[in-house]
Structure 1
Amino acid sequence: MSDDFSAEIYDAIVVGSGANGGVAAKELGERGLKVLVLEAGRAVDPQADLGHPVRDMAKRAYNLAISQRQSYQAMHPGYWKNNPDLFTDEKDNPYTTPPDRPFSWIRGRQVGGKSLTWGGITLRLSDYEFKAASRDGHERDWPIEYADLAPYYSKLERFFQVRGDRDGLAQLPDGDYQPTIPLTPGELHLKQVVETKWPDRKLIASRGFGLNKSTLSAAWPSSSSQGSSLHVAIETGNVTLKSDAVVSHVIFDPDTHKATGVEYIDRVNKTTHRVFGRTVILCASTIESVRILLHSTARYRSGGLVDRSGLLGRFLMDHVSTSTFFFIPGLKPPTKPFALSGCDSFFIPCFVNLKSQTEDFLRGYGIWGGVQRFDLPGIVRKVGVGSIGFAIAHGEVLPRFDNRIQLSEDVVDAWGIPVPHIECAWSDNEQRMLAHMHAQIDETIALAGGKPMKLTEMFRIPLFSELVSKMEHTMSFSAPPGYYIHEVGGARMGTDPTNSVVNSHNQCWDAPNLFVTDGACWPSSGWQSPTLTEMAVTARACAFIADEIGKGGFIC
């Protein structure tokens, strides 16, 4: 074992270089703190890793037919739009589940993480979500409220220059946006249908990043950490990035129980190293951060992390989701499809259980979609003149004690670290919500003059028809947990050490210089896409860390 970088003690060690790790590095580096960012995966190159669709298709075919290293990854639509090398090798990085409770863990292990492949939708949560438990009595509220995050939402929206409208909806607070992208003619048709039938519902332009292809002056898309926060962080001169560093666990002082650093294994040569810092910030993604915390507990090492609540690993959530493709005959399609991105699409924000309990399920959902935003050449179309669309509903999953992450007793990854054992299933509440989603989507499509159709009914897909049919079957009523890549929970925030793993500033109760700021800290999932809120929570925690270090705090 070796101590890296001459045993330098950094102000902060950030684990993870994706959306949250990039924001953490930027916020701390800009304040003059010395930061080390550890990334488990490889360094990536924009010329080699982006913009090669033919090569990427060949890689997918090889992965599926021969290597079989990305079986779960290949079931997600995002896998088919990106370089498959930006998705995890499942043989090196396995995980386990109960046989009857599958979980689709979609991951990216490289500098930038999943920020290189995410959808780019940026939605704020509201106090309907932060204080949901006060309304319906299920589990606990967040220990923070919308006002606590509002300035960080605004700062991030201005920095990323995301697009959107100010729609004046209490359940989806407005942000500081660049001008939005107009809806397509097909979406305007759908908007009129929805708002005429249901005056309490709105169909709005989605909020987020537009399409951003690599150029000579901007090699990385702005929605990636390399094209935004991580780039700015490194430019400060205060941030060091170390790739190929697979973090095993956090190191603690046996007397004070404070975190002193982390131990990692070199991805390539598998040597073990230690690095030291005044603070440690876990931004490794929800399940990875929980895995690191679990492997840091007293069960696995003397003097390890204390979990007085007994809740570490508990209350894992994802968004329950379902998707429907549809065809509107006679609605003239455009000459070529409009762009599809985080802001080039539409949203029907949550319209149920807002001011009162109106349905037979708790919490709510929203519907994201697009019309006239994708198509295939006429030679492979089975349908006639008309427009194609999709609608994806995703809703809040109730936090449940039995949905959890543990460490496997007998399976380790390629570096000898115990892998997560994930137990997560939908409850009756989610099943009732799914039935409501389907009924509302089907009625909306019918009112618009359309009909639900499978992709294999609309297009001839000779090479991958079996895989596409399998994907459609998987999504026929509900995608399995994990599929939507919105997993949160496992190290939840709370008001005291008996009901939570971290406090309102994201500090572990018994190791106050160890922070968990990614989705792992969420007490409930909301219905909105989580990435913007995760980044806002991270920015808020980093402001607190910088202030405390400025006062002389966190001295090891």
Structure 2
Amino acid sequence: MELRPWEAIVVGSGATGGVAALTLAEAGLRVLVIEAGPSLDAKQALGAEPQNMLRRLAGLSSGRHRRQSQHPGYWKHNPDLFIDEQDNPYSHPPDRPFLWTRGDQMGGRSLTWGGITLRLSDADFKASQRDGAGLDWPIQHEDLDEHYTELERRLGVHGARNGLSQVPDGWATEPLPSTAEEQQFASCVQKELGYPWMPSRGFGPHHRKRDGAWPRSSSPGSSLKEALASGRVELLCGERVERLELNRSRDRAEAVICVNRSDGSRRRLEAKLIVLCASTIQTVRLLLQSEEQQSSDGFVDPSGRLGQRLMDHVSTCRFFAMPSCGPGKSGSAEALSGAGSFFIPFGQELAQRGGQRVLRGYGLWGAINRFDPPALLKRIPEHRLGFLIGHGEVLPDPRNQVTLTGPPDRWGTPTVTIDCHWRANEQAMVEHMHHSMGEAISAAGGRMLPLTDLVKAPLIEPLLRRSAALGAGAAPPGYYIHEVGGAAMAAKEEEGVVDRWNRLWRCPNVLVVDGACWTSSAWQSPTLTMMAITRRACLAAVRPGND
């Protein structure tokens, strides 16, 4: 089938790009997906040990992965899935670090996604009605329900129906089993503290015989694979979209301008619909490059808010040892995964402590006896290793922003400066998290200790001690790779960059559907909601009558 002229261009091939391509193809459109990085087969993308470790050492010694190596995912995956920081620079104020993790290859960061799939609740979409901070989303759970359900069903996520208002139930196959220690932990925190508890929802570990070469949580293993199989989707790799090109009236985008990553040449590619799925900060960069303040023929942002209110989840981590609940060997359950873990999902119902009010909410993600090392490397025999990590909502502050004030990269495109840091509410939330973690671990009979007091790791202990995740407070923004905002949706054009259907207010054939469009960060892992927003917006774009 001849696909040119394309009817839609999708920028990015990750979690949202795959859903956008599949949704538009199933609606009958001819679609071009543009990916900045290379097309890799599964063997190249996933790699294997010990080769991956040798690549990590090379990435660290060369300085190519100095910032991204702070995240534990770097030590789990093929480091070639993390962008070369020297070729792709960005900046931040010296006293306000931002750890930006990027992945330019077919599948984007879906190849390193942890695979947790939690829905947002109406308490999250309408949080400002309670506390007056920021704006409400112009949509609610009901608007995304059918799209959540379709994605959960097609992806085959694991989970349970827990009846918790802060995490709405959805479609799921059976939950993965909890370890004996996790069951004991759940019993203690529920009975003694009244804390909510639930098995996590999402994907289990990748099994090649069951899932195929690619993990089901990745777009090449799910949505993008189906999109390409439709015969209506073409994939163009190695081209970074630099900016949009508008018509003379500046009310519609006619094309995108791409930069070839190999030789720096530029080309113009046309389509009637353009869907931005490049990831939050990359999409904001592209929009800033295409807006009238940067270019006289750019689109108009009547809100003046483009680039503002960048958010990430504020996070902090604690490790602990818990007495073994049986004779089974360490790690006897399935390995740690999106569904092989648990949550203490407080949501926005936080008890006020110390007389200080904390706005919004958080959840604690955890696991026990899923990543224990061999007995010889454990400092406390007959105990199982556990962790708790807080996911905390960050308020949408206009001072947290992305600007095009960095020097040009080697292709001549302006680079971004990211100015974002934790403020008083986030700092208070981290203190609240620490208190809740301590209570939970103590109630379950565990001992909270630094990871280096639990595991013998002489070769990497210096790296562990410098890790952003293992410090006393919160890791810097960007660390948790849940960045959202910068081109928020709103009910009025003076309040946000896109409308409730994810269309630029003054250029409605451009859809912003990745994390850039988020009005507030909520506290749940954002990827499933990004995908649901993408499906809703793409269907609306091909169905007349939405206003």
Q: Provide TM-score, normalisation by structure 1.
A: 0.94
Q: How does 1:418-457 map to 2 (within 5 A)?
A: 418-457=414-453
AA at the equivalent of 2:504: C
Show CA shifts across 1:8-44 (max 9, x none). Answer: 4422110000000000000000111011100011111
Deviation at 1:212, TM superposition (A): 1.4
Measured after TM superposition, the shift of residue 495 of structure 1 is: 1.2
Written as runs of structure 1 = structure 2, the 5 A alignment for 1:166-245 is: 166-199=161-194, 201-215=195-209, 218-245=212-239
Aligned to 2:221, what secondary structure does the other structure show?
A: coil
> Aligned partners of 1:92, 1:472: CA distance in 2, in Å?
23
Aligned-pair CA distance for 1:317 = 0.3
Match of 2:531 in 1: 535
302, 312, 316: which is aligned to 1:322? 316
How far did residue 475 of structure 1 move? 3.4
Q: CA deviation at 1:417?
A: 1.0
Match status 1:546 vs 2:538: no
Matched position secondary structure for 1:10:
coil
In structure 2, what residue type is equivalent to 1:374? F
CA distance in 2, matches of 1:470, 1:224: 30
Q: Is the 8 A contact 1:9 1:275 kept in 2?
A: no
In the other structure, the counterpart of 1:361 is 358
Could you tell which deviates more after superposition, 146-155 or 371-380? 371-380
Query: Cα RMSD over matched residues?
Result: 2.1
C-alpha contact (below 8 Å) 1:88/1:107 kept by paired residues: yes
In 1, are the aligned partners of 2:352 and 2:358 still within 8 Å (CA)? no
Once residues 254 and 276 of structure 1 are traced to their aligned partners in structure 2, the CA distance between those partners, rounded to angstroms, is 15
Q: Given the superposition, is the C-alpha separation of residues 216 and 321 from structure 1 closer, same or farther in structure 2, using an over 3 Å criterion?
A: closer
1:502-513 alignment runs, 5 A limit: 502-513=498-509
8 Å CA contact 1:8, 1:276 repeated in 2: no
Structure-2 separation of matches of 1:433 and 1:503: 31
Distance of 1:198 and 1:106 partners within structure 2: 36
1:478 aligns with 2:468: no
AA at the equivalent of 1:514: V
SS at structure 2 position matched to 1:532: helix
Contact 2:485–2:519 (Cα < 8 Å) also in 1: yes
The 3 A distance-change label for structure 1 pair 86 and 244 is same
Range 449-458 or range 313-322, more displaced: 449-458
Residues 324, 12 of structure 1: alpha-carbon distance in 2 compared, 3 angstrom cutoff: same
* Aligned-partner Cα distance in 2 for 1:213–1:55: 20
Residue 385 of structure 1 is aligned with which of 349, 372, 382? 382
Q: Does 1:248 find its partner at 2:229? A: no
Does structure 1 conserve the Cα–Cα contact (< 8 Å) formed by 2:469 and 2:475?
no
| Letter in structure 1 aligned against 2:67 | Y
Residues 354-363 or 443-452, more deviating: 354-363
Q: Comparing 524-533 with 353-362, which one deviates more in the overlay? A: 353-362
- Residue identity opposite 1:309 in structure 2: S
Secondary structure, in 3 states, of the residue corresponding to 1:23? helix
Alpha-carbon deviation of 1:359? 6.1
Structure 1 residue 261 displacement after superposition = 1.3
Q: Distance in 2 between matches of 1:394 and 1:216?
A: 31
SS in 2 for 1:376: coil
Q: Aligned in 2, Cα 1:334/1:322: closer, same or farther, shift over 3 Å?
A: farther
Looking at structure 2, the residues matched to 292 and 351 of structure 1 have their Cα atoms a distance apart, in angstroms, of 33
| Structure 1 residue runs without a partner (length 5+) | 1-5
Name 1:303's counterpart in structure 2. 297
Distance 2:300 2:317 in 1: 42
Q: 1:333 to 1:75 in 2, by over 3 A?
A: farther
From 133, 153, 172, the equivalent of 2:128 is 133
CA contact (8 A) 2:319 2:387 kept: yes
Distance 1:543 1:405, change over 3 A: same
| Matched position secondary structure for 1:148 | helix
Q: 1:182 offset after TM fit, Å?
A: 1.7
**59, 62, 75: which is aligned to 1:63?**
59
Contact 2:468–2:475 at 8 Å: present in 1 too?
no
Inter-partner Cα distance in structure 2 for 1:306 and 1:351: 37
Partner residue in 2 for 1:77: 72
Amino acid at match of 2:384: S
Gap change, CA 1:444 and 1:247, over 3 Å in 2: same
Gaps of 5+ in 2: none
1:106 is the counterpart of 2:134? no
SS in 1 for 2:466: helix
Mapped partners of 2:461, 2:153: distance in 1? 43
User: SS of 1:387's equivalent?
Assistant: strand
Pairing of 1:459-474 with structure 2 (within 5 A): 459-471=455-467
The one-letter code sitting in structure 2 at the alignment partner of 1:402 is R
Q: Deviations over 1:287-324 (max 9, x none)?
A: 00000000011233231111111100001000001011
Q: Which amino acid aligns with 2:215?
A: P
The CA deviation at 1:461 is 1.4
**Identical aligned pairs, as a percentage?**
47
From the superposition, tell whether residues 216 and 190 of structure 1 become closer, same or farther in structure 2 (CA, over 3 Å).
closer
Instruction: Tell me by how many angstroms 1:414 deviates.
Output: 2.9
Amino acid corresponding to residue 188 of structure 1 in structure 2: Q
Aligned partners of 1:472, 1:306: CA distance in 2, in Å?
A: 39
What displacement does 1:394 show? Answer: 0.8
Contact 1:23 1:535 in 2 (8 A): yes
- Cα offset, 1:116, TM superposition: 0.3
Q: Structure 1, residues 348-373: CA drift from partner, whole Å, max 9, x if none?
A: 11254379999611000001100111
Cα displacement string for residues 490-525 of structure 1 (whole angstroms, at most 9, x for unaligned residues): 000001111110000000011010110001000100
Deviation at 1:462, TM superposition (A): 2.2
Equivalent residues of 2:3, 2:234 under 8 A apart: no
| 8 A Cα contact 1:333 1:372, kept in partner | no
* SS of equivalent to 2:271: strand
* Cα shift readout 1:189-226 (whole Å, capped 9, x = no counterpart): 11111111233x32111000111133497111110000
State which of 387, 391, 396 in structure 2 corresponds to 1:394: 391
Question: Which is further off, 472-481 or 441-450?
Answer: 472-481
When residues 167 and 271 of structure 1 are mapped into structure 2, their CA distance, relative to the original with a 3 A threshold, is same
CA–CA distance in 2 between the matches of 1:422 and 1:541?
A: 28
What residue is the counterpart of 1:3 in the other structure?
Answer: none
1:267 matched to 2:261? The reply is yes
